[in-house]
Amino acid sequence: MNKINPSASIKNILAAGFGSFFAVLFLFIVILIIWDSYRIYVPSGSMAIVTAKSGKEPAPGTILVERGEKGIWREVLPEGRHFLNPVKYDVRIVKATEIPLGKIGIVISKVGKELPAGEIIAPDHSSKGVWRDVLGPGLYRLNPEGYTIEIADAINIPAGYVGVVTSQTGTSPKPGEFASIGEKGVLQDVLQPGLYYINRYAYQVNVIEIGMNQVSMTSGNKGGSVFNAKSRLVSNNTAMKELETNTLNFQQELRRQNQSQMVQPSVKESFNRVMKQNAKPASKMVRGDVKAKMPMREEAMADMASAAGMGIPAISPEAQIFGVSKAVEFPSRDGFKVSLEMTVEFELLPEHISKIYLLYGDLPQVVEKIILPQVLSVSRLKGSSYGAQDFILGEGREKFQNDLREELEKTLATKNIIVHNAIIRTVEIPMDILQPIRAVSLAQEQNLTNISMQETAKKLGELNTETELIEQRRREVIQETEKLVATTAAECKREVETIGAEVKLKVAEIGVKRSELMAKITSLKGETEANVKFLTANESALGEAMLSKALGGGQYLAYMKAVEALNPKITTKVIYAGDGTLWTDLEKAALPLPTTPAPIRIQHVPQPAKK
């Protein structure tokens, strides 16, 4: 049997303990090193781009690869903790793309299938090119190595406008027809006022004024404007107001491109300066001092509006003006040159805007291509049938204006343009015909004035006569009224007296009847009292007779009366027992007799007849 050494056991235990401690410590250090070197933390609002140093070789020309392949991963790592071997992977942390409110994100893909020649819009997300759908406001994590996100303004169509949409890709439809889905051209449906997230590469939106507008023809020496667009409502929301301004400025840029041949270099420079100011991001403009930037923008607009003879519109929140200084000139029926300045009020309905844009173009082009030529043509056609004098005199001028308006209404209605009014403001004719016409007109007017004065004097005399007649009639009416009042009062008094006499007569008749009734009452009362006395006396006599008979004779009655007379306190009781009744106790059986005994027959005396 071996003896156990206590000291050796303790050493072994200590050695095993220290070994375990160092093993745990070594394992902790290894885990700490791995944690520190392998751990990747992506903060909020960021993403991590991973590049694999090893793996399967991708196809040549591939920009983004899948996991397991060598190269830049298509997938990005979102915010949070991730663990990757630093030996095998490189990680780059970048900010995610944030699209603010009122903006859109247009995605341009650099990876995927190649597009056909001339195409820029990708049919799906697996092809290169511009994605048709856009990204709305929010936070997006697309790998910037393969995708570029272009942030642009959303389209905010103000009240009083509509948006005509033109698809910029696809096959072309038949001439004069709207484009369908997948075709290139103008779409039939328009965009109503509101905010729209639309890809400008895929669709072009022309913001066109609707409702009432006017076009004016003015002479060149006045430099007046031809087309004044309707004033628009300005939003109280600063961000929305900036979006509306940017949308309208973009529309102005499209319009100016159509007139670029007419624009002088100084006007172009002013326009570029305005567009650079308006191209700032809406978020910066909202955070900045918008009021401080407005004078600079208005100054640039004033520079553009001051370009002599160009008539290029300045962008303002109140109105937009397009100008061509030109009056309507035509020969009159009698061969004189007539120059007119006029204003035509017209309206474009929303349901016709897309068709008008398809056929004629934007609103300034409609004015220049359709309205102005029609106004000039109709004015010359109608005006040549009038003499020069007709344009000076009020009736002829009014007739020409009505004819012009009616003809413009019929002509432009076929082009879906509603004309509400055509107003002639100024008429210019040669002085050699104007002066004689004026002299004749003045003479005619003077003659008419004299005639009118004569008529006025005549009417004044008639008025005085009528006034006197009215006064006379007034006095007659007063007299008739007083007579009628007196007559009515007399008749009323007579009626009152007649009614009073009738009342007195009725009262007298009632008094007579009352007296007759009182007499009858008195007579009946006397008769009744006599009858009562007679009946009372008669009954008393009958009672005396019955009492005498009951006592046995008149002498006994006399005795009783005498006794009663001697002493009134003595009470005499007469007891009537009837025939054949025997009473043994007369005192106890005594009963007081009534004044008129019931068994005694009373003889009634007939009453005298009533009178």
Range from 148-157, 282-291, 524-533, 540-549 carrying the lowest mean pLDDT: 282-291
Q: What percent of the chain has pLDDT over 70?
A: 71
Residues 6+ apart with CB under 8 A from 405: 419, 421, 422
pLDDT band at 38 (very low <50, low <70, confident <90, very high): confident
Q: Indicate if 413 and 332 belong to the same structural domain.
A: yes
What average pLDDT does range 48-76 have in this prediction? Answer: 89
Q: Where residue 50 falls among pLDDT bands split at 50, 70, 90?
A: very high
**Domain annotation covers residue 455:** no
**Beta-bridge partner residues of 161:** 209
Read off the pLDDT of each residue in 603-611 and give the average, rounded to a whole number: 47
496 in the same domain as 599: yes
pLDDT at 305: 35
The 10s digit of each residue's pLDDT in 357-375 is 888 888 888 888 888 888 8
- 510, 611: one domain: yes
How many other C-beta atoms are found inside a 10 Å radius of the C-beta of residue 257? Answer: 9
Of 258, 281, 316, the residue that ends a domain is 316
How would residue 116 be classed by pLDDT, with cut points 50, 70 and 90?
confident
Q: Which of 472-486, 523-537, 582-596 is least confident?
A: 582-596
Q: Which of 27-31, 177-181, 336-340 has the lowest mean pLDDT?
A: 27-31
Same domain (yes/no): 251, 279: yes
**Coil, helix or strand at residue 589:** coil
Residues 41 and 102 in one domain: no
Question: Does the pTM of the predicted model rise above 0.75?
Answer: no
Mean pLDDT of the chain: 75
Closest CA to 357 of 157, 159, 349: 349
Query: How far does the chain reach from its first CA to its final CA, in angstroms?
Result: 180
In Å, what is the CA distance from 322 to each residue of 63, 213, 215?
Answer: 51, 12, 9
Residues 143, 199 within the same domain: yes
Tell whether 201 is covered by a domain: yes
- In three-state secondary structure terms, 457 is helix
**Of the given ranges (286-295, 440-449, 486-495), which has the lowest mean pLDDT?**
286-295
pLDDT of residue 117: 83
In a domain, 348, yes or no: yes
Domain total of the chain: 5
Contact indicator for 107, 56 with CB cutoff of 8 Å: no
Helix H segments across 552-573?
Answer: 554-566
469 shares a domain with 594: yes
**Domain termination site, one of 209, 244, 260:** 209
306 shares its domain with 341: no
Quote the pLDDT of residue 326.
Answer: 65
Instruction: Please give the sequence-ordered ranges of beta strands (E in DSSP) within 349-434, or none if there are none.
Output: 418-428
Residue 418 class from Cβ within 10 Å (0-12 exposed, 13-18 middle, 19+ buried)?
middle
Q: What is the pLDDT of residue 141?
A: 92
Domain co-membership, 467 together with 603: yes
Mean pLDDT over 552-558 rounds to: 75
Residue 11's pLDDT band, with cuts at 50, 70 and 90, is low
Q: Specify if 515 maps to a domain.
A: yes
Report pLDDT for 582. Answer: 47
DSSP reduced 3-state for 540: helix
Is residue 19 in some structural domain? no
Q: What values do phi and psi take at 342, rounded to 5? A: -140, 165
Q: Which domain holds residue 258?
A: 235-316
Mean pLDDT of 565-593: 56
